[in-house]
Structure 1
Amino acid sequence: MAPDRAPRQHVEKVAGSRRARLTAAPGTTGEPRPADEDRGAEASASSDSGPNDERMKRDVPPHY
């Protein structure tokens, strides 16, 4: 391996679990960020609806 490689994520084994966990990617934190933070206020203020939205809400699948 070349010594000048960039840092990477690593797999961590979790005791008592069937799944492994990845470490945080370099330059990021391990904490999740809520989706609302990404969009900001402009997404919640815009409630644009398309021409077929009301029809889609009324439609019922044939197996109901």
Structure 2
Amino acid sequence: MPTIMPKSELVRRAFAYLQEERKHDPGKSLPSLLDEAGMRFNLTPVDAEALERLLRSEQKLN
């Protein structure tokens, strides 16, 4: 029986996944990475937007 995971945990895992993917392929576009993460972690559109905002704020800090 599959385990139901809280949405916040999915977003955290998606964020970690995106960080790793960006290390391996820094030239890959953000929209492409977000699409992959959305499908891989079954994110809702609201979760995907939150993830995008988080990534963009991280880019501003670096």
Q: TM-score, normalised by structure 2?
A: 0.22
Q: Which has more strand, going by share of residues?
A: 1
Q: TM-score, normalised by structure 1?
A: 0.22
Q: 1 or 2 for the larger relative contact order (CA 8 Å, sep ≥6)?
A: 2
